[in-house]
Structure 1
Amino acid sequence: MKKKLLTLVGAALTSVLILAACGKSNSANGSKQVLTAATNAEMATLNSTKYSDTTSLEALENSFEGLYRFNAKNKPVLAGASSVAVSKDQKTYTFKLRKNAKWSNGDSVTAENYVYAWRKMVDPAAASPNSQQFQPIKNGTQIAAGKLPAKDLGIKALGKYKLQVTLEAPISYFSELLTGAPFYPQDQKVVKKYGSSYGTSSAKAVYNGPFVVKNWTGTDLKWNYVKNNHYWDKKAVKLQKVNVQVVKDAATAGNLYKTNKLDYAMLTTDYIKQYEHTSGYHSKPIPLIGYMSFNVHRKTTGNIHFRKAIAMAFNKKSLVNNVLHVGSPLNGIVPKNFAYNSKTGDDYRQEAGNMLTYNLKDARKEWAEAKKELGKDKITIQLLTSDTTDSKQIGEYLQSQLETNLPGLSVNLRSIPLKSRLAATSAYDYDMVYGTWQPDFADPVNFISDGGQYHLDGDYNNSNFRNLLNEAATTYATNPTKRWSVLIQAEKQLIQKDAFTAPVYQGGMSYLLKKKVKGLQISPYGTVLFYRNASIK
């Protein structure tokens, strides 16, 4: 798959309730420092070059560590690196790595581990769903396009513990970018030992983060995060273990919570009304997006008028108010309250404006044109979703809206486990797919050039779009005003003019947090939990 859904994703919940049992828990107490948590979807991989789902991302971010990580205030700080020197032109970064940083097998974490992993990430032969994140690194774009070899990537080992990274142009969000899983190192000795099976089970991986993953064979619905005794900063990690289990059904998760078999339960939006007046309830908008992508290799979904009709034929406000009970309509690929103009302070989404809104009149006009070009009066299409409760509910809503508002359209739903959905999308086994995605850093380009949009790199070859992205990354890299302008133009080309992707909604996160639990962090970009600083008091 060329894109992550974090793509990612179809796995991410539009709303998450973190619920803790009242009274004594079977699994968590102050002396044992053990938590039991639920997630709503299977893990797909522990290979940082292969993931494209939120459950895998959460596992990676708790068991691996890169040059930077988020601190307790969700600000990027040095992690695997102990210091960094930046050149005057702000294009070359020289990192000194921590000599006491170890892999869970005792191997040292070296500069070559980063070089190896990054080159593999950007090599088109690896088909990583996250390769586009390396576009700011020197030659990253050309390598991903097959125009240069992977060894030409702007990363060098200057010694065992000294690493140099060169950018195409200065970027203000580089430290945030490097907190992400695509930039983690890999112990090449272990990767080469397991070959294509690396990361397919917890035993076939090695970890350099605060926890190691245990008891996941690749299909399990339960696994553990266990404190990593080889972690360089293990004294800062208080939790001894986090027990995780997949609970897709909200009612089941609720029952497990009520019977004290879960300390944390991730539940669907159905439970927001039930718990919104409960002590400890919190709700906030997050930059998670829900969207539909199209298989442009098929005649129907490859038709631009069909895509525009679909994108404008469902009531987003009704979805948010009556189904999700949280979040807001999304009329572009970049969410609101996410990225701000460094010169004016204005929100990007406000500046860019609405691009694909619910507009029944225009939708039916495009629908008529699509039927004319396709030579059909009745069209049947399949909508692929994961089998989580939220995804199925949203799929059912979209099915009802589209069939009602576009005469002659029949929508068949296909809801399958997330891991299977990701595989189907990667193999082009779909007409339309619904998914959610969380960003990696706070810049509009993260959504415009990625955003979980399936096969964007391989299938969307609009020259104007590519030229605008290139200008944003090079010509206007140090001119915030002009860079903002060309990014808006690029988004308009992608979403408004070509409807390559149909934005659906911006998510929200609602949760209840047990007072005994301190230091539990939620990613600034979505629903991923960070356990590194958590403890039970």
Structure 2
Amino acid sequence: MKKRLLALASVALTSVVMLAACGKSGSSSSSSKQVLRVATNAEMATLSTTKYSDTTSLEALENSFEGLYRFNSKNKPVLAGASSVSVSKDQKTYTFNLRKNAKWSNGDSVTAEDYVYAWQKMVDPTAASPNSQRFQPIKNGTQIAEGKLPVKDLGIKSLGKYKLQVTLESPISYFSELMTGAPFYPQDKKIVEKYGNNYGTSSSKAVYNGPFVVKGWTGTNLKWTYVKNKNYWDKKDIKLQRVNVQVVKDSSTAGNLYQTNKLDYAMLTTDYIKQYERTSGYHSKTIPLIGYMSFNVHRKTTANVHFRKAIAMAFNKNSLVKNILHVGSPLNGIVPKDFTFNSKTSNDYRQDAGNMLTYNLKQARKEWAEAKKELGTSKMSIQLLTSDTTDSKQIGEYLQSQLETNLPGLTVTLHSIPLKSRLAATTDYNYDMVYGTWQPDYADPVNFISDGGQYHLDDDYNNSNFRDLLNKAATTYATDPVKRWSTLIQAEKQLLQKDAFTAPVYQGGMSYLLKNKVKGLQISPYGTVLFYRNVNIK
């Protein structure tokens, strides 16, 4: 399975970015106008918190579910599903009192057992969740996911109907941010077991404990709605009544819908950034989203380390950003810049770690020659899999052209399919190389190094030095930030410079159009996901 997402982290604690000033609506604000119309550029894949691995599904989950913490409008993680928490002296055990008035959308109480049930499913190796690696900081999370311990040994325990205890392997500074993520949401066991494998395959086959419920999603259609949850414990603070969502893969179409007042929000891609950058409501910013290529190491060609290194260094990243994307920056490591900072020196991680895999045509051709020698051939044909969104197809075409031009004897076939199909193909190892994007879940370099959207990282990348370094960062050096920092840099070097398990492509930017009447719309500090909780339409 893809060990991701999600999903799902821009500085040591990057602020939640406000798209428009947040404010309380006056008493004259009528519910009839509290309807937001937005476009997303990819279909939704699932409404199961244990199965998602795409951004559209993540956005749905983060607006319709709620965990122990959430981000508030003041840029901080705050208690959400829990009303209070106490922390042990060694900073490893957290005891939460859950909100007794928290309900599922069907009226069931949200209990401690709902968290225990969902978390144990996440790490159960038979469930093969794409987000199980997020539980590595939780006691026994790694060993359970590897099948070495039973799920009951996970560091989560119900101490009563509304009391929950979470135990960590070692203290972590980003615990509250980690808990805001969708993998740590509860599930209503009764409903999950009622629908079995069909749970989350449509909006009617799930229940929700967040500010909104999802309506009208059949599992394949390209329109759905978020409706204010009448059972949400904090519903009095939710002004927005409804969000109408439609999938619009073409930015030209989305821009036209925005300009003809049929959309309030639209994200722009590639060439359309230039077209709309002077339009009222245009915004642009750098985000910690990354674009990357992953390799199927179970196939002869892509299993060859020299082949992977040649691919990783054979395309001009500066040209891609300048001429195709028009936003963002080249990425020469798996961890982006301006995302997390050294607690002692305040240096950016990327600054300390340096460049790992740059565009280097001379070195790429040297590795290419070595690959051809080891594989015993002068010509190779591979397929590059992408989703069928505008950005993905254009980036795929650019990579295809660069690789065929710069590596003589290589033929690259581009295969662009709907995101849901692309995710399934990568999960099933039905690909040679795949291009994708990924957004982090918390502001720490380990989120990218041990996950980063890199497909099958936990299953297929078994380098003992890499695993040992990650283990030391999580345990031996957990409370020594200087040694932990340098250990993570060594792990990234092993992953990329020595083994080229993944080929970094670019760090993303986000350009979008937003009507001035929309106040309080937020973007996740870790990517492009929108939060609708604080929206008020003036």
- Give the TM-score normalised by structure 2: 0.95
SS at match of 1:301: helix
Structure 1 window deviating more from structure 2 (164-173 vs 260-269): it is 260-269
1:464-475 alignment to 2 at 5 Å?
Answer: 464-475=465-476
Rounded Cα–Cα distance in structure 2 between residues aligned with 1:114 and 1:485 = 35
Question: Does the 8 Å contact 2:258/2:513 carry over to 1?
Answer: no
1:244-259 alignment to 2 at 5 Å?
Answer: 244-259=245-260
Question: Does the 8 Å contact 2:252/2:272 carry over to 1?
Answer: no
Which residue of the partner structure matches residue 235 of structure 2?
234
Ranges in structure 1 where 5+ consecutive residues have no aligned partner: 9-17, 21-27
Corresponding pairs, count: 521
Ranges in structure 2 where 5+ consecutive residues have no aligned partner: 9-17, 21-28
Which residue of the partner structure matches residue 299 of structure 1?
300
- Structure 1 residue 457 corresponds to structure 2 residue 458: yes
Letter of the structure 2 residue corresponding to residue 373 of structure 1: E
Letter of the structure 2 residue corresponding to residue 52 of structure 1: S
SS at match of 2:300: coil
Post-superposition offset of 1:260:
2.1
1:271-298 deviations in Å (ceiling 9; x for gaps): 2112223344322110000000000000
1:200-211 alignment to 2 at 5 Å?
Answer: 200-211=201-212
Post-superposition offset of 1:269:
2.1
Question: Does the 8 Å contact 2:267/2:513 carry over to 1?
Answer: no
Letter of the structure 2 residue corresponding to residue 410 of structure 1: T
Post-superposition offset of 1:344:
1.1
Question: Does the 8 Å contact 2:266/2:514 carry over to 1?
Answer: no
Rounded Cα–Cα distance in structure 2 between residues aligned with 1:372 and 1:267 = 44
Question: Does the 8 Å contact 1:283/1:510 carry over to 2?
Answer: yes
Question: Does the 8 Å contact 1:289/1:335 carry over to 2?
Answer: yes
- Structure 1 residue 78 corresponds to structure 2 residue 79: yes
Question: Does the 8 Å contact 2:82/2:96 carry over to 1?
Answer: yes
- Structure 1 residue 509 corresponds to structure 2 residue 526: no
Which residue of the partner structure matches residue 358 of structure 1?
359
Letter of the structure 2 residue corresponding to residue 237 of structure 1: I
Rounded Cα–Cα distance in structure 2 between residues aligned with 1:146 and 1:60 = 28
Structure 1 window deviating more from structure 2 (282-291 vs 424-433): it is 282-291
- Structure 1 residue 533 corresponds to structure 2 residue 527: no
SS at match of 2:303: coil
- How much identity, in percent, do the aligned residues show? 86
Question: Does the 8 Å contact 1:288/1:439 carry over to 2?
Answer: yes
Post-superposition offset of 1:63:
0.1
Letter of the structure 2 residue corresponding to residue 6 of structure 1: L
Rounded Cα–Cα distance in structure 1 between residues aligned with 2:270 and 2:310 = 28
Rounded Cα–Cα distance in structure 2 between residues aligned with 1:145 and 1:342 = 32
The 1:60–1:160 alpha-carbon spacing in structure 2 relative to 1, beyond 3 Å, is same
SS at match of 1:465: helix
- Structure 1 residue 134 corresponds to structure 2 residue 135: yes
The 1:427–1:7 alpha-carbon spacing in structure 2 relative to 1, beyond 3 Å, is farther
Question: Does the 8 Å contact 2:297/2:303 carry over to 1?
Answer: yes
Question: Does the 8 Å contact 1:180/1:440 carry over to 2?
Answer: yes
Which residue of the partner structure matches residue 153 of structure 2?
152
Which residue of the partner structure matches residue 12 of structure 1?
none
Post-superposition offset of 1:111:
0.2
- Structure 1 residue 485 corresponds to structure 2 residue 486: yes
Rounded Cα–Cα distance in structure 2 between residues aligned with 1:58 and 1:390 = 19
Post-superposition offset of 1:5:
4.8
The 1:425–1:69 alpha-carbon spacing in structure 2 relative to 1, beyond 3 Å, is same
Which residue of the partner structure matches residue 176 of structure 1?
177
The 1:524–1:49 alpha-carbon spacing in structure 2 relative to 1, beyond 3 Å, is same
Q: Any runs of at least 4 consecutive aligned residues in structure 1 with deviations exceeding 6 A, and if so which?
A: none
Post-superposition offset of 1:4:
2.9
Rounded Cα–Cα distance in structure 2 between residues aligned with 1:249 and 1:271 = 9
Question: Does the 8 Å contact 2:105/2:207 carry over to 1?
Answer: yes
Which residue of the partner structure matches residue 13 of structure 1?
none
Rounded Cα–Cα distance in structure 1 between residues aligned with 2:435 and 2:175 = 30
Rounded Cα–Cα distance in structure 2 between residues aligned with 1:292 and 1:2 = 13
Letter of the structure 2 residue corresponding to residue 374 of structure 1: L
Question: Does the 8 Å contact 2:19/2:519 carry over to 1?
Answer: no
Letter of the structure 1 residue corresponding to residue 251 of structure 2: A
- Structure 1 residue 4 corresponds to structure 2 residue 13: no
SS at match of 1:265: strand
Rounded Cα–Cα distance in structure 2 between residues aligned with 1:441 and 1:29 = 37
